[in-house]
Amino acid sequence: MQQPPAADKHRGGNAILGLLRELALVPPIVALIVIGAYVDGNFLTLANLATILGASAALSLLVLGESLIIITGKFDLTLESNVGITPALGAMLVIPAASAGFGTEWPVALALSCTLLAGAIIGILNGFMIVKLKLNAFIVTLAMLIVLRGLHVGVTEGQTLWDKPSSFFWLATKTFLWMPISVWLALIVFICAGVFMRYHRTGRAIYAIGGNAEAARAAGIHVERITMGVFIFAGILAAVAGIILTGYVGAISASQGQGMIFTVFAAAVIGGISLDGGKGSMIGALTGVLLLGIVQNILTLAQVPSFWIQAIYGLIILGSLMIARITNPNSQ
């Protein structure tokens, strides 16, 4: 049956409005690029742009994982601890006992596989307690964050892990078309996630679960199974982010990842991911990462002390929430 012209027009208007919302951060990003060029003449050099993107690669994967969880109506604070402990376990399987390793000296590929497995296991534990046991997501993941951080410090005895083979850093140090492989990996994952969420039935189900889990269940959607899958996927993404961050820094400290969750939520919120669940796009989340990456780079070039950056991120979050409230009175 042919749709009435008015219905087609209304649908087209909604599509345009949705696209404008997804690209809402593009004008501020362009403005920041102009400001950055004014602050420092080296801002627009290829080397500096590669630095911005390389430094944002690990964060982008964390934001993607957190965004998917938030869209389902849940939270996961453990991602920052996951970033530290999973690559630390992988590194300790590789490095000798004399360098604070386990002494197993496994091949890098096998150790990195165990890193991803550890990330998946953390996601399974979180998902089990939240989905199956119906425990509060905030409290569960806060407790797990503390547990994982303690395990990280305990296993490594508070030491910084060095003495890893160069192949352990491959994602962050190897370049393709002047950009680190980690940047291309993050871009591919975001594109795949965006297509999946928009066009695949499971992706659309994730939005439905975040919008109204009971209605989604009544519609035949496997709410528990899909939510568990999202937690596991986010755990794997966090482990990959940890590998990338390790390569970018060149070592694994006992505090790796600490405090990143604030930046993750900042990027997700300003990127339009609704904390109520059921709303948000991968394009918006990615632009949120880019905006924060550019802000941090400009502040660094302007020699602003690093301890001010978190305060600025907080102000950005508050500003984004107020703008969202003004433009959409029903938003939270």
Tens digits of residue pLDDT in 12-58: 555 566 666 777 788 888 999 999 999 888 899 999 999 999 999 99
pLDDT classification of 270: cutoffs 50, 70, 90: confident
- Tell me, what's the pLDDT at 326? 64
Token pair 């934001």 is found at: 63
Burial status of residue 327 (CB atoms within 10 A of its CB: 0-12, 13-18, 19 or more): exposed
Contact 75, 230 (CB under 8 A): no
Average pLDDT of the residues of the chain:
88
- DSSP 8-state class, residue 169: G
- Quick check: 7 pLDDT over 50? no
- Which residues sit opposite 252 in a β-bridge? 161
**Whole-prediction pTM:** 0.90
- Quick check: 97 pLDDT over 70? yes
The pLDDT > 90 percentage for the chain reads 60
Contact 278, 299 (CB under 8 A): no
φ/ψ of residue 175, rounded to 5: -115, 155
- Tell me, what's the pLDDT at 325? 63
Fold of 25-327: ABC transporter involved in vitamin B12 uptake, BtuC (1.10.3470)
Tokens standing for residue 1 = 């049956």
CA atoms of 318 and 332, how far apart (whole Å)? 12
- Tell me, what's the pLDDT at 282? 92
Domain boundaries, the chain: 25-327
Contact 52, 297 (CB under 8 A): yes
